[in-house]
Structure 1
Amino acid sequence: MTLWVNFSLNEISILVLNTAAYLLILFLPKKLTPQVRTLSLMWGFTIGVIFDFTIGGGLVDFYMVNDTNHFEAFDFLYYFLFAPFGYFFFYGYEMVGINKKTFIPYVLAWSIVGVAAQWGFTLLEIITFQKGYKVPYSFPVFLVTQTLTGIYLECVKSRQPIMTAPKKGVHKYVLRRKHA
């Protein structure tokens, strides 16, 4: 394993994107319980790596990560970009209040986000397609992964609370009429 073939746009982009994503997680209000927060990061990382190893570099090798088909240190940092996507999916799911009627549009929206991110990664030379693979081919993959993520989150929600309890001493002010 090499550290990197050459330090260029893709390595710089990976550093910047990781820094931005994890800072955003750090500064967003802590709405998810610590257990679910950790679970969302692990889920995002795991499902991303599984599919990336399947279609990206492992079994069918449709794209190259970074500068070479051989594993390099910055590939690890690229894989750490998957974790925040899991967190943001869970976070948005709860903040928006996804239900049976809004599940499909939410999954479609996140699938589009995934395709857009992959397209951005190609522009930044983080991934390079091979064997005739094109960005739109990833849409069904993202539909599957986002659907599995939503189903998984629903299973977690059925077993434990997802959201943190409101802090004591924080009151919501409600306008009320006085009855005469």
Structure 2
Amino acid sequence: MENIIYDNHFNANEWFVIGIIVLGLVPIWLFPRPFSPSQITFNMLIGITFALIFDHTIAVPPFDLYDTGNQSKFELFDLFSYIMYGPYGYWFIYWYERARMYEFMTIVYILVWAGMAIGLEWMGVKTGEFHYKHGYQLMYSCPIYLLLMSIHLKMYRMAFAPDRWKRK
């Protein structure tokens, strides 16, 4: 497989990743932290894990639908592009718990967050962080975000439900 070089300078795509990480992490220290350390770890790691799973599913052969960063092969800075998803897994659950949403509003909430994810991905495309290939388009990410956010919320509820240890 041929390595495609999109850029070889520290510029907009690296600043985009750094900015997203800072914008996600700094408020965590400023806002009240209602979660236990295990809840914080779970929500941060699930964002990173989902990014890794889907990047290594649809961004590598046989699909090879997009590249991240300056070139098609993995670079050290690509690690930071995975880390940038961590704080948003945290914020996704933080605001869900804070608003105490249930039933129908949960659907609206997931749709809003998927819209924000699409917006951030669009910014990533514009800054050169994401490079689509083989006809992949931004709109194809919509069902992926909807699925992942639904799974994240379901897993969080299962893992941290107040009654999870009670016998029925």
TM-score by length of 2: 0.86
Aligned-pair identity in percent equals: 25
Q: Which moved more, 1:143-152 or 1:50-59?
A: 50-59
Structure 1 unaligned residues grouped into runs of 5+: 162-180
Partner of 2:102: 99
Match for residue 78 of structure 1 among 77, 81, 105? 81
Match of 1:88 in 2: 91
Once residues 138 and 145 of structure 1 are traced to their aligned partners in structure 2, the CA distance between those partners, rounded to angstroms, is 11
- Consecutive unaligned residues of structure 2, counting only runs of 5 or more, are 1-6
**Maintained 8 Å contact 1:66/1:127:** yes
Q: What CA distance in whole angstroms lies between the structure 2 residues aligned with 1:117 and 1:58?
A: 25
Per-residue deviation, 1:12: 2.1
User: Does the 8 A contact of 2:17 with 2:80 survive in 1?
Assistant: yes
Flag the 1:32–1:60 CA change in 2: closer, same or farther, 3 A. same
1:117 maps to: 120
Alignment check: 8 A CA contact 1:107 1:150 kept: no
Matched-pair contact (CA < 8 Å) for 1:63–1:130 = yes
How many residue pairs get matched? 158
Point out 4+ residue stretches in structure 1 off by more than 6 angstroms.
none
RMSD between superposed Cα atoms in Å: 1.8
**Is the contact made by 1:45 and 1:83 (CA closer than 8 Å) also made in structure 2?**
yes
* Equivalent position to 2:31, from 28, 44, 49: 28
* 1:133 correspondence with 2:124: no
State which drifts further: 86-95 or 151-160.
151-160
TM-score of the two chains, using structure 1 as the length reference: 0.81
SS of corresponding position for 1:102:
helix
User: How far is 1:160 from its partner?
Assistant: 6.8
Contact 1:63/1:127, CA 8 A, preserved across alignment:
yes
**Which of 43, 47, 52 is equivalent to 1:49?**
52
- Offset at residue 21 of structure 1 (A): 1.6
The 2-side partners of 1:26 and 1:75 are apart by: 25
Which protein has the larger Cα radius of gyration, Structure 1 or Structure 2?
1
What amino acid is the match of 1:113? M
Partners of 1:147 and 1:82 in 2: how far apart?
A: 16
